[in-house]
């Protein structure tokens, strides 16, 4: 576990121990602590209750404040499994995610944790044991669009935007120029975006905000330049795919086509193709978006 200072009032906890641990979908999720004047606000509790509890206690000691909120960027298990560390505070999530949350609970209750793990290719014994023992309960504050905590000058904004999942939200702290992006922006793996239109809409909106630092859903903290590079990549991808379809290039030929943009982050030191072996998340998105544009010919043609 490592803590990093993001600004005077924002710290993050990374579950990785230096570079010793191999990256996984769970140990790459940062937990954020915002020291708001009225109390501590955490964003995403991650997967490990012992680490989240320690981080919470350390921050409460450091800032002499109680914790008031846990904000969940979306209800995927790698971001909420340690929820028991925040049992006594307001736990905030998008109302739209509650089915996904209940599905997870029902799955691990009905098919048993071992079967769930093999179905999702999870072979980490530590995670399997956490899932078996952990106390899970639904968030008590479900939001339809937006929640603003604090008054002008020190607001923390929780806003639902969709994209990566229908319930994906981001947290923006204007006074610190910090954005917690959730899984709509990832640093160590390829992006896992929603539809092309939604993706461009989200990145365009974020590009309009005053931002110095972005805490991604997985990986290390990035700056606005990183966001703009991701935005440019997807804009280039959209126009390349539309042209490939227009020119009737078959799907099997698109990956080797010279007009397809290169994903810049592949050359960065922290890069891994995907959190699962033998999977390529970039190819997955390209295939999905190609199919999407083919099936949505009306959208495609009306925009030409
Ligand atoms: Zn995630």
Cα of 23 vs centre of ligand 1, distance in Å, is 13
Cα of 29 vs centre of ligand 1, distance in Å, is 7
- Specify whether 183 is located in the same domain as 107: yes
Question: What domain count does the chain have?
Answer: 2
Q: Which run of H or E residues covers position 118? A: helix 113-119
Among 189, 224, 259, the domain boundary falls at: 224
- Specify whether 291 is located in the same domain as 184: no
DSSP state letters, 57-78: HHHHHHHT--EEEEE-S---HH
- Specify whether 122 is located in the same domain as 163: yes
What sign does the dihedral 94-286-120-190 (CA atoms) show? negative
What are the angstrom distances between the C-alpha of 268 and each of 31, 135, 220, 271?
Answer: 23, 38, 12, 6
- Specify whether 268 is located in the same domain as 121: no
- Specify whether 193 is located in the same domain as 284: no
- Specify whether 54 is located in the same domain as 106: yes
pLDDT confidence of 297, banded at 50, 70, 90? low
pLDDT confidence of 74, banded at 50, 70, 90? very high
Q: Within the chain, what is the greatest distance between any pair of CA atoms?
A: 63
DSSP designation for 23: P
Cα of 245 vs centre of ligand 1, distance in Å, is 31
Give the range among 48-57, 157-166, 273-282 with minimum mean pLDDT: 273-282
pLDDT confidence of 304, banded at 50, 70, 90? very low
pLDDT confidence of 274, banded at 50, 70, 90? confident
Q: What's the whole-number mean pLDDT along residues 282-290? A: 93
- Specify whether 7 is located in the same domain as 83: yes
Token pair belonging to 26: 């769970």
Encode pLDDT of 18-44 as tens digits: 455 678 888 899 999 999 999 999 999
Cα of 35 vs centre of ligand 1, distance in Å, is 24
Q: What's the pLDDT at 278?
A: 77
What does pTM read for this prediction?
0.93
> What is the span of the domain harbouring residue 266?
232-302
Cα of 180 vs centre of ligand 1, distance in Å, is 13
Among 180, 195, 224, the domain boundary falls at: 224
- Specify whether 129 is located in the same domain as 64: yes
Cα of 77 vs centre of ligand 1, distance in Å, is 8
CATH of the domain at 17: 3.60.15.10
């Amino acid at each position: 576990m490592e803590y990093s200072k993001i600004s005077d009032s924002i710290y993050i906890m990374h579950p990785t121990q230096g570079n010793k641990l191999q990256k996984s979908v769970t140990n790459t999720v940062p937990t954020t602590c915002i020291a708001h004047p009225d109390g501590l606000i955490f964003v995403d509790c991650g997967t490990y209750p012992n680490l989240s509890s320690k981080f919470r206690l350390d921050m409460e000691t450091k800032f002499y404040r109680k914790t008031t909120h846990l904000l969940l960027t979306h209800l995927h298990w790698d971001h909420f499994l340690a929820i028991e560390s925040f049992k006594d505070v307001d736990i905030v999530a998008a109302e739209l995610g509650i089915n996904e949350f209940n599905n997870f609970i029902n799955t691990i209750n009905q098919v048993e944790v071992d079967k769930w793990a093999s179905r999702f290719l999870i072979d980490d014994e530590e995670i399997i044991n956490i899932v078996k023992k952990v106390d899970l309960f639904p968030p008590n504050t479900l939001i339809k669009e937006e929640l603003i905590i604090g008054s002008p000058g020190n607001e923390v904004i929780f806003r639902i935007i969709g994209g990566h999942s229908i319930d994906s939200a981001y947290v923006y702290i204007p006074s610190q120029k910090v954005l917690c992006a959730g899984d709509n922006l990832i640093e160590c793996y390829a992006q896992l975006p929603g539809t092309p239109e939604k993706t461009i809409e989200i990145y365009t909106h974020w590009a309009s905000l005053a931002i110095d630092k972005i805490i991604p859903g997985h990986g290390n903290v990035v700056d606005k330049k990183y966001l703009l590079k991701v935005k440019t990549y997807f804009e280039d991808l959209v126009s390349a795919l539309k042209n490939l379809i227009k020119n009737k290039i078959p799907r099997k030929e698109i990956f080797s086509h010279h007009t397809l943009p290169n994903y810049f982050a592949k050359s960065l030191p922290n890069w891994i193709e995907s959190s699962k072996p033998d999977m390529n998340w970039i190819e997955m998105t390209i295939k999905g978006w190609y199919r999407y544009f083919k099936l949505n010919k009306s959208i495609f043609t009306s925009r030409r």
